[in-house]
Amino acid sequence: MKRLIASLVVIAGAVAGAQQPFDSAQGRPPALETLRVANNVYAIFGAGGNVTVQTGGDGVLVVDSGMTASVDALLTEVRKLSAAPIRFLINTHAHPDHVGGNIAFSRAATDPMQPLNIMAHERVLSRMTAALPAFQQGQTTGGAERLRGLPIDEYFTPTKDLRFNNEAVVLYHEANAHTDGDTVVLFRGSDVVSAGDIFTPDAYPFIDVANGGTVQGEIAALNHILQLTVPGHTQEGGTYVVPGHGRLCDEADVVEFRDMIVIVRDRVRDMMKKNMTFEQIKAARPTRDYDPAYVTPASFVKADQFVEAVYRGLNANK
């Protein structure tokens, strides 16, 4: 387990680094950009993973907290949208480019009458807790500080919902997709889905097999997102989707991404049926027509890694 947690931290740190490289010349994270998605829901780009923000009279709800290095800039962006207390932080999964700002968000909540609740699926809490340094024998203090930033408002059911800023906000657990603890957040009134790293329109999905991710779960989660989305006139707009990384999207973009994964999975599965070894499958380059669209020199997930994740997921189901 410890090995898994260690690999999770290392891998996710690399994800953040690869997908949001620092401005090496200036030694600082890239500038953030905020776009209004719909009504009082916004997307903030550039803080590591994408961040979704809902504002209103009840306060501020944030989905994901970016990476640690960007959190000051992220809080500044959130404060431009609203000075109200940040009441809810939802983590879509446990990777540091999405939970790296948790502790700073927790410290920013200074009003004990309006505390910050950090929510996530229980698998996220388990993994983040396991990554903490062990309690020393006889240690009796520091417990509260130790819990700071953890999503202790966790859920274990298939869904969880709350009404905030007069809007129904629904959390869906997507089992064994990108990881085993993914949450998709639906802002039902504003018609916005925050997808986390299940959906990365410009990059192959990071199916984190070591932490419970599978290609079948990834496809199922994308199909569920497609059930939540209803396109607008001429099949565009309508429900908007904030991906874990990459530009703002809608249903049509999710369809292209889902289709790509299904087609690659079918190719790998066909090769496995022909008793090809993993090395032979990799050499056959079953993603070669999609690579120019989904792989750049800065990509964290290269073609071979995606093929390996698909292969391992299918092999486990044999």
Binding of another protein by 270 (CB under 8 A):
yes
Q: How far is CA 75 from CA 34, 135, 140, 310, in A?
A: 12, 30, 32, 37
Q: Which of 79, 147, 259, 277 binds another protein (CB under 8 A)?
A: 259
How many other C-beta atoms can be found within 10 angstroms of the C-beta atom of residue 141? Answer: 7
The total of other beta-carbon atoms located within 10 Å of residue 158's CB is 11
Min CB(262)–another protein separation in Å: 4
Give residue 252's Cα distance to chain centre: 20
Q: Which of 35, 168, 283, 316 binds another protein (CB under 8 A)?
A: 35
Q: Footprint of another protein on residues 131-170 (CB under 8 A)?
A: none
- Between the alpha carbon of residue 153 and those of residues 3, 121, 126, 308, 312, the distances in Å are 26, 9, 12, 34, 33
Minimum separation from the CB atom of position 250 to another protein (A): 6
> In the structure encoding, which two tokens stand for residue 149, read together?
């930033």
User: Is the CB of 145 or the CB of 259 nearer to another protein?
Assistant: 259
Task: Name the minimum Å distance from CB 236 to another protein.
Answer: 5
Backbone φ and ψ of 15, nearest 5° = -60, -50
Q: Which value, in Å, is the radius of gyration of the alpha carbons in the chain? A: 19
Establish if 293 lies at the interface with another protein (CB under 8 A): yes
**216-245 residues near another protein, rule: CB under 8 A:** 216, 219-220, 223, 226, 231, 233-237, 240
DSSP-based three-state secondary structure for 35: strand
Q: Which of 256, 298, 315, 316 touches another protein (CB under 8 A)?
A: 256
Give the residues lining the site for another protein (CB under 8 A).
33, 35, 43, 45, 201, 216, 219-220, 223, 226, 231, 233-237, 240, 247-253, 255-256, 258-259, 262-263, 266-267, 270, 286, 288-293
